[in-house]
Amino acid sequence: MSSLAMAGGADTILVSAFLLSQILYALSLGLGLFFLRLPVDWVNPSEAEGRQPEEHPYIVLFYPVLRELESTMRTTFLSLARIDYPAARYRVVAIPNANDTATVESLRRLAQEFAFLQIVEVPATTDPSWQVVWRSWDENPKAYWWHKGKRAGVRALPPKKTRQLVYAFYTLAEEMAGGEDFLVNYIDADSCPPPDHFLAASAGMRHYDVLQAQNIAGNLLSTLPASWHAFDHMAWDGFLYPHLSARGRQPFWVLGKGLFFRASDLLALGGFHPWITIEDPEVGMRFWTHGKRIGIIQNPLIEEVPSTLGHGITQRKRWVCGFFQSLAQPLKDMGMTPWQRFRARLNFGPCLSLSANAIGLPLGLWALAEWKAGVSPVPDWSLALAAFNIATFAVTLGAIYLSVWRRAKLILPQRVDRLRYLLRVNPASLVLWWLIWLVPLAIGFWMFLRDRGLVWERTVKIDANHELVRTVAGSQPAVVRLGADLPIPIPANRNLTGEPQASAGGLAL
């Protein structure tokens, strides 16, 4: 083959790749614009001001942990010690696995320091105490995984966060049956809620059925990978995600931490789906399918993002696998119509198309440069599309940068530090990161095809935010919430701390 023919073939391949990339890139950007034009249902925390203690809803915060550093958990409890809410109107319940002895021992030590902390050890599913779960699922067809499919009636639930939540939720719901309905809230091991976290829930639940607090990374400058991982949350949690509230028009996901819902609502819907890698998207869409609306709490939880590429890919491959799983058969099983399933799958589009930025943008710039040099091999109409794509990308990224600048002030009050962060996540840096995103996308899809990801593969936490939270906490005492005035009695046969002990408030736990 002559060199001229080879060059012509290469040009044809390049032009075809350019045309395909620009069409797909336009669809990707158009999807982002579609979400951004949806309205946001914000929660106004000030609506809770002036209420009497008994007017606030009762809240149970679950804290699922697995092999966590004691220092990481202490940092979270320091933030919880600053919660501004009537002490008699909430509980903080850590839910480790009973066989995770190191974490259980750490929690017992922390319970001596933080009097609000209670502990429920989650036993193996062969334990008789799980009967409350099996009985509830037997009676509820909305727990569709229990009644149909290849795992119908299987009790050997995979050992992960969802199993811990299932056990703790049904156990506590049975314990509190006949009393007032309560709100469920849960956070991750490293999540640090703001002081008005519960007050925002008290205000928002008068208008919405589900509430979701935003998240922000506290260690966004620790390493370059951490800066990239933090940008994912800035661009999704802090910029695009709130538009899923949409006055109830768009199927929504929850973020797996910092959310609130009524216990009675989750009981009616069958609890958490234990056979999906992450519970977040499925349970949110199930709430939406049954008419529940979500409100967004703007004041964010501070969390820790992975400081290495490897740990970040481990986390994101699980997200991707869980997204694919949730958007497959479960959508039919929970009762969505074909149009609703299509709308639900759009939520995955921004994540799935991240790498479109890294491919479509350089090819668009190449085509425009060739056109300016007078040697463009692509059709004229495609140049207009490329110019539109680049302009849309620039405006969208500029809006994200503005949002990042404003939100990062909570973590980086100094302008110079925020500028350092923006320089780290400059467009060229992000193009590289979006190319790297192809790795967890591919692994997560492979996990979905092979039905993997059922066991909890935890994201490594290193207590990266301890200095930040301690600075915010100042000199306030750690023990500020006593348990003596808890309105709900704790049965003597319920193992809450592993062994009886006296708290600062005199309540035997």
- Mean pLDDT of the 386-405 span: 91
Q: Name the pairing type of β-strands 117-119 and 90-95.
A: parallel
What's the distance, CA 498 to chain centroid? 30
CA distance 198 to 176: 20
pLDDT tens, position by position, 282-294: 999 999 999 999 9
* pLDDT over threshold 90, residue 417: yes
- 26-42 pLDDT, tens per residue? 888 899 999 999 999 99
Neighbours of 147 (CB within 10 A): 15
| Residue 9 pLDDT | 53
pLDDT in tens, 343-383: 999 999 988 887 777 777 777 777 778 777 777 777 878 88
Give the domain ranges of the chain.
45-350+456-473
pLDDT digits (tens, 9 = 90+) for 437-494: 999 999 999 999 999 888 777 777 777 788 877 665 443 333 333 232 333 333 333 3
Query: Would you state the structure tokens that stand for residue 274, as one six-digit string?
Result: 């234990």
> What would the pLDDT profile of 110-163 be if each residue is shown by its tens digit?
999 999 999 999 999 999 999 999 999 999 999 999 999 999 999 999 988 999
pLDDT at residue 178, rounded to an integer: 82
Closest alpha carbon to 457 in 81, 38, 67: 67
State yes or no: pLDDT of 503 exceeds 80.
no
Look over the chain and give the mean of its residue pLDDT values, rounded to a whole number.
87
Q: What is the pLDDT of residues 224-259, one digit of tens each?
A: 999 999 999 999 989 999 999 999 999 999 998 999
| CB of 309 closer than 8 Å to CB of 460 | no
Write out the CATH class of domain 45-350+456-473: alpha beta
233 in Cβ contact with 213 (< 8 Å): no
Percent of the chain with pLDDT over 70: 90
Specify the pLDDT at position 488: 32
Pairing of the two strands 210-217 and 294-303: parallel
Higher pLDDT, 21 or 171: 171
Count of helix runs (H) and strand runs (E) in the chain: 20, 7
Residue 61 has a pLDDT of 98
